[in-house]
Amino acid sequence: MKISKRWWLQVIISLGLLTVIGILINNLAVNLIRTGLGLSFDWLWRPAGFALSEHPLPYHPSDSTAWALLMGWLNSLRVIASSIVLATILGVASGAARRSLNPLLRQLAALYVGLVRQIPLLLQLSFWYFVAFLGLPSEPLAPLGAIILLSDHGISLLGISLSVEFAAVLLGLSVFTGASIAEVVRGGLDSVPQGQWEAFRSLGMNEGLGMRRIVLPQALPAILPALSSQYLNLAKNSTLAIAVGYADLYAVSDTTITQTGRAIEGFLLLVISFLLLNLLINGGMQLLNRAVLNR
Amino acid sequence: MRVRLPLLPLVSLLLLLTSCATLGEGGASRLDLIKRRAELRCGVSGKIPGFSFLRRDGSFSGLDVDICRAFAAAITGSPDQVQYRPLTAPERFTALRTGEIDLLSRNTTFNLSRDAAGGNGVSFAPVVFHDGQGLLVKRDSGFTNLKSLEGKTICVGSGTTTEQNLNDAFQAKGIDYKPIKYQDLNQVIAGYLQGRCSAMTSDLSQLAAARSGFNDPDQHVILSEVLSKEPLAPLAAGGDQRLTDAMRWVIYALIAAEELGISKENINDKLEEAKNRPELTQLRRFLGLEGDLGEKLGLNNDFVVKIIQATGNYGEIYNRHLGPDSAVPIPRGLNNLYSKGGVLTSPPFQ
């Protein structure tokens, strides 16, 4: 009796879900026909007709819209990949610092996590861009000699020049996500029994070595799943880049949608592109996860 | 019994969804819907002084807002029966297409791609403001024309024809430039004032409005080169002839009233005069005392009277928000009557 009841419930719920999805798709199709617009992707191959402030590959306004969108996608990928690296370094360092024996380090890390997690990302991005970077003088500052040059038009790090827009998004996303990663790391470290810490200390290992060889390997299985959702969040949050003038995928789609009037197609492409980006991240994290668990 | 419980919300959800679908497919004109609800839903910007701006007391004011009011007066009889929806540039067409708003009166450029069924598929009313895209630079920067901006960065807003015009103008001269694109005008202004860009670009009306809010308006100049013509017009969703016709003739009524010298002040006298003098057939027809011009549009015959009583004629609306004594003075230029050197004229009310 019990089994059959559950079985019915499942069928009803699945049927209900399918109906809802079907109705939504039908609505879309009916409305598209009503407004005389079928789905069409021809516009992708027409000249874009707008310039981009930065593009990793050669680009000219007379290139196709598809190529412009690809530049946007690569710009997104570029800022997401570098933010993930920086956020991980920041997060792991401050997460570990919160369990360090040094009280000053512990307090500083707690302050960072507390402060950054309370402030909306959009506000932080605007701060980094409009206050921190655009507040720089137009004549380059060189605090560390030729290693890093700072000005309100761009940043040059070891000869690689970055736009202020890129730098603002990179820092904003990294600092914001770093704080959440710090909490994930702290949670992971707390899942390792206290005895393990006492054991390596009693063997005379120093803190750094013990953390690397004893604690982190045991904490990683708890950290990795939460870490990958932080990475996925970071990727999605990168669309806020448009607020600080960075030509990411969302900003480029936004322009093409208003220029072609193809909102539904534009959003479909946007969804697919982000799905692709996030599947990339997810796939990478799953490989890492498997490697860690099978070790 | 326990099995049926989740069905209830599911069924109600399904009902809701299907009812939405049938309502959306109805073939009736939106004009009837506006009359039935006795309220016009008008999409505006809310951020452009002189056109649509939120005043301190929470009400909207500006040329675009008065167009909404004129329209509401024509359909519902009262200019105050308007619900304003502040919209960003990328949101506006979606809001129109989904039926969220009846009419969009928000600094929107009238062009082919937007009007055509294969483009945005909307229907435009006559132009209410002839604008053009320009460039704002700092007075001491030494930039005097397009050529001098070669290779420089230019701040531009998203979701508008501005990006394309900028590109066309520079490409035509064979000059390179670097656009920094922000989502809305306030960010463009912040980027420009912070020195990220050598120039900012937008419609002249918006540049003038923005400059009026700077600490030092005299330190910024608008270059005399105009990149494009930007005829701004109100619009409605496409495929609704009755609504579009009504919208078109409301705008023409504002222009025709100025041509005939009918203003908010003298409308009642004119009405009295028309009543007493049956030989003034043209005036009588315009004011709805004779014929059925209003009814042909699906409005009341006295719709012109209601409009002029509410907002005054086009010239009065212009002077109130953009005239020499307003906060955002813009010379009338093209936006004057044909007889006074502009391009405005109304087809006959016959």
Is residue B170 in a domain? Answer: yes
Q: Which residues contact B286 (CB under 8 A, 6 or more apart)?
A: B253, B256, B260, B293, B304, B349
**What percentage of chain B exceeds 90 in pLDDT?**
56
Is residue B99 in a domain? Answer: yes
From chain B, the residues in CB contact with A22 under 8 A are none
* Binary contact (B155, A8; C-beta < 8 A): no
Is residue B12 in a domain? Answer: no
Is residue B55 in a domain? Answer: yes
B52-54: strand order across its sheet: B47-48, B52-54, B60-61
Residue B3: which of A5, A37, A52 has the nearest Cβ? Answer: A5
Per-residue confidence (pLDDT) for residue B225, from 0 to 100: 81
Q: Please check whether residues B110 and B137 belong to one and the same domain.
A: no
The two tokens of residue B264 are 């908010």
Q: Which of B229, B255, B279 is the last residue of a domain?
A: B229
Q: Please check whether residues B121 and B141 belong to one and the same domain.
A: no
**What is the domain range of residue A159?**
39-293
Residue A152: phi and psi, rounded to 5, are: -80, 5
Residue A9 and residue B10: Cα distance in Å, rounded?
12
Backbone CA torsion sign across A238, A243, A247, A249? positive
Name the residue of chain A whose CA is nearest to B156's CA: A245
* Average pLDDT rounded to a whole number, residues B284-293: 93
Q: Please check whether residues B253 and B218 belong to one and the same domain.
A: no
Q: Please check whether residues A117 and A23 belong to one and the same domain.
A: no
Q: Lowest-confidence range among A237-241, A289-293, B91-95? A: A289-293
Name the residue of chain A whose CA is nearest to B1's CA: A5
Residue A248 and residue B181: Cα distance in Å, rounded?
10
Residue A227 and residue B130: Cα distance in Å, rounded?
54
- In this predicted structure, the answer to whether residue B12 has a pLDDT above a threshold of 70 is no
Q: Are B184 and B157 in contact (CB under 8 A)?
A: yes
* pTM, full prediction: 0.70
Q: Please check whether residues B56 and B198 belong to one and the same domain.
A: no
Q: Please check whether residues A9 and A132 belong to one and the same domain.
A: no
pLDDT tier, A257 (very low <50, low <70, confident <90, very high otherwise): confident
DSSP annotation of B61: E
Is residue B15 in a domain? Answer: no
Per-residue confidence (pLDDT) for residue B308, from 0 to 100: 96
Residue B181: which of A31, A36, A247 has the nearest Cβ? Answer: A247
pLDDT tier, B37 (very low <50, low <70, confident <90, very high otherwise): very high
Summarised one tens digit per residue, pLDDT across range A84-127 is 999 999 999 999 899 888 899 999 999 999 999 999 999 999 99
Q: Please check whether residues A13 and A58 belong to one and the same domain.
A: no
Q: Please check whether residues A230 and A92 belong to one and the same domain.
A: yes
Q: Which of B214, B229, B244 is the last residue of a domain?
A: B229
pLDDT tier, B27 (very low <50, low <70, confident <90, very high otherwise): low
For chain B, what percentages of helix, strand and coil (3-state, to nearest 5) are there? Answer: 45, 15, 40
Q: Are A121 and A183 in contact (CB under 8 A)?
A: no
- For every residue of A137-159, DSSP letters joined together read -SSPB-TTTTSEEE-SSEEEETT
For chain B, the straight-line distance linking the first and the last C-alpha, in angstroms and rounded, comes to 69
Q: Please check whether residues A25 and A156 belong to one and the same domain.
A: no
Q: Please check whether residues B93 and B157 belong to one and the same domain.
A: no
Q: Which CATH number does the domain housing residue B272 bear? A: 3.40.190.10
Q: Please check whether residues A74 and A102 belong to one and the same domain.
A: yes
Q: Please check whether residues B318 and B330 belong to one and the same domain.
A: yes
Mean pLDDT in chain A? 89
C-alpha distance from B19 to closest chain A C-alpha (Å):
11
A160-163: strand order across its sheet: A148-150, A154-157, A160-163
Residue B149: phi and psi, rounded to 5, are: -95, 15
CA-angle at B136, arms to B133 and B141, nearest 5°: 145
Per-residue confidence (pLDDT) for residue B16, from 0 to 100: 45
DSSP run (H or E) holding B123: strand B122-124
Bridge partners (DSSP) of residue B157 are B182
pLDDT tier, B293 (very low <50, low <70, confident <90, very high otherwise): very high
Q: Taking Cα atoms as reference points, which of B183, B192, B230 lies closest to residue B211?
A: B192
Per-residue confidence (pLDDT) for residue A41, from 0 to 100: 85
Residue B181 and residue B190: Cα distance in Å, rounded?
12
Q: Are A248 and A242 in contact (CB under 8 A)?
A: yes
- In this predicted structure, the answer to whether residue B160 has a pLDDT above a threshold of 80 is no
* Binary contact (B168, A52; C-beta < 8 A): no
User: Which value does ipTM take for this structure?
Assistant: 0.75
Q: Which residues of B176-199 are buried (b: 16+ CB within 10 A; e: fewer)?
A: ebebbbbbbbebbbbbbbbebbbb
Q: Please check whether residues B105 and B182 belong to one and the same domain.
A: no
Tallying the residues shown for chain B, one arrives at 350
From chain B, the residues in CB contact with A153 under 8 A are 153, 196
Q: Are B333 and B93 in contact (CB under 8 A)?
A: no
Is residue B11 in a domain? Answer: no
Q: How far is CA A286 from CA A100, A127, A228, A244, B270, in A?
A: 29, 34, 9, 32, 80
Is residue B142 in a domain? Answer: yes
Q: Please check whether residues B174 and B251 belong to one and the same domain.
A: no
- In this predicted structure, the answer to whether residue B95 has a pLDDT above a threshold of 60 is yes
Mean pLDDT in chain B? 87
Q: Are B167 and A61 in contact (CB under 8 A)?
A: yes
- In this predicted structure, the answer to whether residue B17 has a pLDDT above a threshold of 80 is no
Name the residue of chain B whose CA is nearest to A7's CA: B3
Summarised one tens digit per residue, pLDDT across range B221-248 is 888 788 888 899 999 998 899 999 999 9
The number of distinct structural domains making up chain B is 2
- In this predicted structure, the answer to whether residue B18 has a pLDDT above a threshold of 60 is no
* Binary contact (A49, B167; C-beta < 8 A): yes
Q: Taking Cα atoms as reference points, which of B284, B310, B313 lies closest to residue B77?
A: B310
From chain B, the residues in CB contact with A19 under 8 A are 14
From chain B, the residues in CB contact with A165 under 8 A are 180
Q: Please check whether residues A59 and A182 belong to one and the same domain.
A: yes
* Average pLDDT rounded to a whole number, residues B51-57: 91
Q: Please check whether residues A200 and A235 belong to one and the same domain.
A: yes
Q: Please check whether residues A30 and A160 belong to one and the same domain.
A: no
Residue A128 and residue B28: Cα distance in Å, rounded?
52
Q: Which CATH number does the domain housing residue A246 bear? A: 1.10.3720.10
pLDDT tier, B20 (very low <50, low <70, confident <90, very high otherwise): very low
**What is the domain range of residue B269?**
30-128+233-340
Q: Which residues contact B189 (CB under 8 A, 6 or more apart)?
A: B200, B210
Q: Please check whether residues A80 and A189 belong to one and the same domain.
A: yes
Q: Please check whether residues A239 and A288 belong to one and the same domain.
A: yes
Q: Lowest-confidence range among A35-39, B21-25, B43-47, B253-257? A: B21-25
Per-residue confidence (pLDDT) for residue B237, from 0 to 100: 92
Q: Are B133 and B159 in contact (CB under 8 A)?
A: no
From chain B, the residues in CB contact with A20 under 8 A are 13-14, 17
The SS3 assignment for A293 reads helix
Angle at which helix B30-37 crosses helix B241-259, to 10 degrees, equals: 70
DSSP annotation of B292: -
From chain A, the residues in CB contact with B25 under 8 A are 30, 34
- In this predicted structure, the answer to whether residue B6 has a pLDDT above a threshold of 60 is no
Name the residue of chain A whose CA is nearest to B94's CA: A263
The number of distinct structural domains making up chain A is 2
Q: Tokens 């009262």 sit at which residue? A: B78
Name the residue of chain A whose CA is nearest to B22's CA: A27
Q: Please check whether residues B154 and B242 belong to one and the same domain.
A: no
pLDDT tier, A208 (very low <50, low <70, confident <90, very high otherwise): confident
Q: How many CB atoms lie within 10 A of CB B26?
A: 10
Summarised one tens digit per residue, pLDDT across range A125-166 is 999 999 888 888 877 787 777 778 888 778 888 778 889 999
Is residue B16 in a domain? Answer: no
Q: Please check whether residues B120 and B143 belong to one and the same domain.
A: no
Q: Which of B168, B200, B229 is the last residue of a domain?
A: B229
* Average pLDDT rounded to a whole number, residues B185-207: 89
Per-residue confidence (pLDDT) for residue B73, from 0 to 100: 96
Q: Please check whether residues A21 and A44 belong to one and the same domain.
A: no
Give long-range contacts, CB 8 A cutoff, 24+ apart: A102-108: none
Q: Which residues contact A129 (CB under 8 A, 6 or more apart)?
A: A164, A165, A168, A172, A243, A244, A245
Q: Strand B153-157 to strand B199-203: parallel, antiparallel, or no bridges (unpaired)?
A: parallel
Summarised one tens digit per residue, pLDDT across range A62-89 is 899 999 999 999 999 999 999 999 999 9
- In this predicted structure, the answer to whether residue A278 has a pLDDT above a threshold of 70 is yes
